[in-house]
């Protein structure tokens, strides 16, 4: 029987072990080290969910690089679309720089699509997405995801930085909701 944990009112069963996750993180870091050789990328880790992934991945990156932690904030403003989304916490100039976004999970892809639109206004040299998890079955937008550790089914997951109602982030494994 796989390990089951309780997070608030829900039960989750382990889906990916610490060893599996670490092996995938190391694989992706090696790809980045190879692809970005000779460059000095800026990593933008999207809070809150990517904090553990970013900490593990970045310790495997051997390139000279900078790291910044950002958030995507939504607020109602005076615009035709109604919603304005802004990247907050970007406290450095990314003009002309190669940018790698570190995200916890791409589900519909809408969050990443907004993020890329917003970052493009800062005129980076290039933008790549690096996600810990991807649910290919849920993707709604045309998104070029260059780096992905694990492709997962359409279930709700927690752990290794991802939460359920604020809880469950502090595990070494990734867990799936038990129905």
By annotation, the residues acting in catalysis are: 107
**Minimal distance in Å, beta carbon 21 to ligand 5GP?**
15
**Minimal distance in Å, beta carbon 51 to ligand 5GP?**
12
**Minimal distance in Å, beta carbon 134 to ligand 5GP?**
9
CB-nearer residue toward ligand 5GP: 42 or 133: 133
Distances 41 to 14, 62, 125, 166 between C-alpha atoms, Å: 34, 11, 10, 31
Residues of this chain that interact with ligand 5GP (CB under 6 A) are 49, 104-111, 156-158, 162-163
CB-nearer residue toward ligand 5GP: 61 or 158: 158
Distances 176 to 11, 24, 58, 132 between C-alpha atoms, Å: 8, 18, 26, 15
CB-nearer residue toward ligand 5GP: 29 or 131: 131
C-alpha span between 36 and 27 (Å, rounded): 14
Please answer whether residues 112 and 50 qualify as being in contact, where contact means their C-beta atoms are separated by less than 8 angstroms. Answer: no
C-alpha span between 139 and 174 (Å, rounded): 20
Nearest C-alpha neighbor of 115 from the set 80, 81, 92, 90: 90
């Amino acid at each position: 029987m796989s390990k089951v944990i309780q997070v608030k009112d829900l039960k989750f069963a382990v889906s990916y072990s610490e060893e599996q996750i670490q092996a995938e993180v190391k694989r992706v870091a090696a790809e980045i080290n190879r692809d970005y050789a000779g460059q000095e990328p800026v990593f933008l880790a999207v809070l809150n969910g990517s904090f553990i992934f970013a900490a593990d991945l970045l310790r495997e990156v051997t390139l000279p690089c900078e790291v910044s932690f950002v958030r995507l904030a939504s607020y109602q403003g005076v615009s035709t679309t109604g919603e304005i989304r802004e990247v907050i916490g970007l406290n450095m100039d990314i003009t002309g720089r190669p940018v790698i976004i570190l995200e916890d999970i791409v589900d519909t892809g809408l969050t990443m699509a907004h993020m890329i639109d917003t970052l493009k206004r800062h005129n980076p040299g290039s933008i790549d997405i690096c996600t810990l998890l991807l649910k290919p079955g849920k993707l709604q937008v045309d998104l070029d995801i260059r780096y992905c550790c694990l492709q997962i089914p359409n279930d709700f997951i927690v752990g290794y930085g991802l939460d359920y109602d604020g809880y469950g982030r502090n595990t070494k494994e990734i867990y799936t909701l038990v129905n």
